[in-house]
Amino acid sequence: MKTKLPIKHLLKVSCCFPLAITIFLFSSAFMEGDTVQGAFIRSVISCVLIILMSLGNVGLLLLLKKKSYLEDRRVIYALSFIMSTLVMWLMYFFELYLIRLGMTTKTLGIRVNGNIIYLYLCLQGIFMNSIVLLLQNFILVQEANNKAQLENSLLNTARSEAAYQLLQQQIQPHFLFNALNILKSLIKKSPELAEDYLLRLSDFLRVSVSGNKRAVGTLYEEMKLGIDYLEMQKVRFGEALSFSFDITDAEQSEGGLPVFSLQPLLENAIKHNELTEAAPLHIEVKKDGDWITVINNIQLRSVTEYSTGSGLANLAERYKLLSGDEIEIMDNGSVFSVGLKILNDENRNHRG
């Protein structure tokens, strides 16, 4: 997921911290017997130093945020300390200029003579910049923790809503009524087929009730749930419904999908389209690279079954929270498809 820097908070610290240091240095210099003008100039120069370092660090973060600086901060620390050294030298030469003008008599409070002063300035810059970096890193860590807590809260809310929808929508009374009626008729006509139907129904109900305890299920589990659902609907609609799964057993063992994400897409296809033997509905589930796509021909019902209309939106929200990606929806008037990128340990935020 993309990292968004808390620029406002960083800039606030870049202004408030130097201001506090300025007030402290001015009071200290004045109490040590320096003139008001000298104390003011010394404190202002220190303030400018810290502001330049703070803004320089913010600039480096913005410049390197697309280069994975969070994974390896050595580069940004090295550049930051080089920047702080250059700022110290620049301000040193600037204060030498002020001394020549007679505006101040002390240079950054330094009484070191000779070329060693440049090493001293370098060490002083590193020390001051380290304090600035500690403050800025504290803000970055705090912001990351707040963002993680917010995302976890949103994900828990989405899980709760998904669990509610599973009980209220996925196992609707009319679905159970139809399933039990079909089972009753199959027991009389074909006991073997009735036994197979009962096994699929029991598996479907078990996953519906208990599957919401996890955020991500395996691709195999989602495929089995989808096949069980369509096989039951096949008994109901007969030749008016056909389906195919273009996914090998080996492919089903890799990656995962949000729990109960495939079956609602299959249900939506049946719920919103006409199913007749003259014009059957065909549903295809296939794997294309890292994507699972559910495709169906469009032949919309004149009167659709009751629907809250939030199933697909809820799936899209859960999927985005887990992976940071969007689901792909395509409707060209004759074919409707929804694509889900297969989740793995890298792109599902480790929230299994």
Q: What is the pLDDT of residue 74?
A: 72
pLDDT at 299: 92
As a whole number of angstroms, the distance between CA 260 and CA 268 comes to 13
List helix spans (H) across the chain: 7-31, 36-64, 74-101, 116-165, 173-189, 191-210, 219-237, 249-252, 262-272, 311-323
Quick one: pLDDT at residue 30? 63
> What is the distance in angstroms between the CA of the first residue and the CA of the last residue of the chain?
17
- Measured CA to CA, the distance from residue 137 to residue 345 in angstroms comes to 27
Helix (H, G, I), strand (E, B) or coil at 261: coil
Question: By the 8 A CB rule, do 16 and 94 touch?
Answer: no
How many CB atoms sit inside 10 A of residue 135's CB? Answer: 17
Tell me what pLDDT residue 122 has.
78
291-297 sheet: strands from edge to edge: 241-246, 281-288, 291-297, 335-341, 328-331
CA-closest candidate to residue 58, choices 144, 132, 143, 145:
132
What predicted TM-score, i.e. pTM, was given to this entire model?
0.52
- Determine the Cα–Cα distance for residues 171 and 89; give it in Å rounded to an integer: 72
Return the pLDDT at 292. 93
- Rounded to the nearest 5°, which phi and psi values hold at 286? -140, 160
d(CA 260, CA 217): 8
CB 14 within 8 A of CB 58: yes
Could you tell me the domains of the chain? 7-148 (no CATH), 171-341 (3.30.565)
Low-confidence ranges of the chain (pLDDT < 70): 1-5, 14, 25, 29-30, 32-39, 41-42, 65-73, 102-115, 158-175, 208-214, 303-311, 345-352
Strand partners, 328: 339
**Integer Cα distance of 283 and 223 in angstroms:** 13
Which tokens belong to 184? 């009753």
